[in-house]
Amino acid sequence: MSPPPIDPATPPSVSSEPVAVQARAWLAWLASGAVEEAGMQAFEHWLALPGHRRAFEYERQLWRSVGPRPAGAVVGAPRRPRQRVARWSLAAAAVLALAWVAPETWLRLQSDHRTLNTIAQVTLPDGSRAVLDADSAIAVHFDGTRRRIDLLRGRAWFEVAPGQPQRFEVAAAGGVVEDISTAFVVSREAGGVQAEVEQGRVRVAAREGGSWTWLQAGQRAAFVPGGPVQRLDDIAAGRIAAWRQGELLLDAAGVADAVQRIGRYRRGPTFVRGDLSQLPRVNAAFRTDRPEQALDALAGSAGLRVTRLPMGVAIVQVAATP
């Protein structure tokens, strides 16, 4: 059974159709690129109904398993090859976009503040300030005994309001960064967690109740889940969180990491195809408000090819040699 026809600009609604059909309609809407706040609220309401989350996850797994078949599997010559290629490109883009968009729903349900491809400022309940980089999310847990931020994704800069009796701490990947009246950055990426101090001091532990590593202005440290805290090379305090001023600074960054960091400012998902680890590391500075130019500049200097598909999908891989 196929999903009922929908206008991509209009989210589906709960109807008398079977739940599986509704789930497929929601999947089509999420992959359409027309996702907006009101529709997401309606989707979350639908998802909370009994049995709907399970049906949605089942249909999502089925959708993700669908992709364009290899040319050898096609019987007979296509009558309109250009239209077929266009349809395959659209189908591939929809699957990739869905793989990128659907997990965002779970993140949205956990977070209190979340950014997509832009930077946002947040005033916390105690008057402290936070600036979230693009593609970042935090959950806020403040009460009479603690001030705790869970960094769910990405990175955030914090300027902590002084004079409060409760400790201010940022938890990420099982570890914690605790403020000692300061301004600092915590980043959570696939490779672990990193803390950088712009002003004052912080202390870092790789796990709750673990031993502390103390940092002051210009100092950095990082840890991976289950590992120890490791000190990194010091950095000029003025270079910390340069993204708040719209600058993306890459210092000896791996090419795949550079692609990922530029990709967080794009409107659509960015995927890396193949192994880029053997390419020379990158030292560059880009504008966060010009991510497409930044991606093309990186591709030109690092020997990459960028394939852009519908729905904002970009696939980055090593350019073929002549």
pLDDT band, very low/low/confident/very high, at 310 (cuts 50, 70, 90): confident
Alpha carbons within 13 A on the beta-carbon side of 150: 10
Residue 9's pLDDT is: 43
Instruction: List, in order of start, the domains of the chain with CATH numbers.
Output: 19-110 (no CATH), 114-237 (2.60.120.1440), 246-318 (3.55.50.30)
Residue with tokens 């994704």: 153
Residue 70's pLDDT is: 36
Report long-range pairs for 305-312 (Cβ below 8 Å, ≥24 apart): 309/89, 309/90, 309/92, 309/93, 309/96, 310/33, 310/89, 310/90, 310/93, 310/94, 311/31, 311/32, 311/33, 311/93, 311/94, 311/96, 311/97, 311/268, 312/33, 312/97, 312/266, 312/267, 312/268, 312/269
Residue 23's pLDDT is: 80
pLDDT band, very low/low/confident/very high, at 20 (cuts 50, 70, 90): confident
pLDDT band, very low/low/confident/very high, at 39 (cuts 50, 70, 90): confident
**Higher-scoring residue by pLDDT: 42, 172:** 172
Residue 251's pLDDT is: 92
Residue 241's pLDDT is: 94
The answer on pLDDT for 258 being more than 70 is yes
Residue 62's pLDDT is: 64
Crossing angle of the two packed helices 81-110 and 52-64, in degrees rounded to 10: 140
Q: How many other β-carbons are positioned within 10 Å of the β-carbon of residue 78?
A: 11
Strand 137-142, strand 113-114: pairing: antiparallel
DSSP 214: E
* Alpha carbon distance 238, 193 (integer Å): 21
What are the pLDDT digits (tens) for 172-200?
Answer: 999 999 998 789 999 998 779 999 999 99
The answer on pLDDT for 317 being more than 90 is yes
What percent of the chain is predicted at pLDDT more than 90? 55
Residue 72's pLDDT is: 36
The mean pLDDT of 50-59, rounded to a whole number, is: 79
The answer on pLDDT for 113 being more than 90 is yes
* Alpha carbon distance 222, 217 (integer Å): 15
**Residues contacting 151, CB < 8 A, separation 6+:** 136, 137, 138, 170, 171, 172, 186, 188, 193
The mean pLDDT of 86-107, rounded to a whole number, is: 56
What are the pLDDT digits (tens) for 280-299?
Answer: 999 999 999 999 999 999 99
| pTM for the model | 0.68
Listed ranges 8-17, 53-62, 67-76; the one with the highest mean pLDDT: 53-62
Residue 67's pLDDT is: 40
pLDDT band, very low/low/confident/very high, at 86 (cuts 50, 70, 90): low
Name the 3-class secondary structure at 254: coil
The mean pLDDT of 38-64, rounded to a whole number, is: 76
In residues, how long is the chain? 322
How confident is the prediction for the chain on average, in pLDDT?
A: 82
Alpha carbons within 13 A on the beta-carbon side of 316: 26
Crossing angle of the two packed helices 52-64 and 19-30, in degrees rounded to 10: 60
* Alpha carbon distance 71, 131 (integer Å): 48
Residue 295's pLDDT is: 97
**Ramachandran category for residue 217: left, alpha or beta (phi over 0 → left; psi -120 to 50 → alpha):** beta
What are the pLDDT digits (tens) for 58-75?
Answer: 776 666 554 433 333 333
The answer on pLDDT for 202 being more than 50 is yes
**Residues contacting 235, CB < 8 A, separation 6+:** 196, 218, 220
The answer on pLDDT for 1 being more than 50 is no
Residue 82's pLDDT is: 52
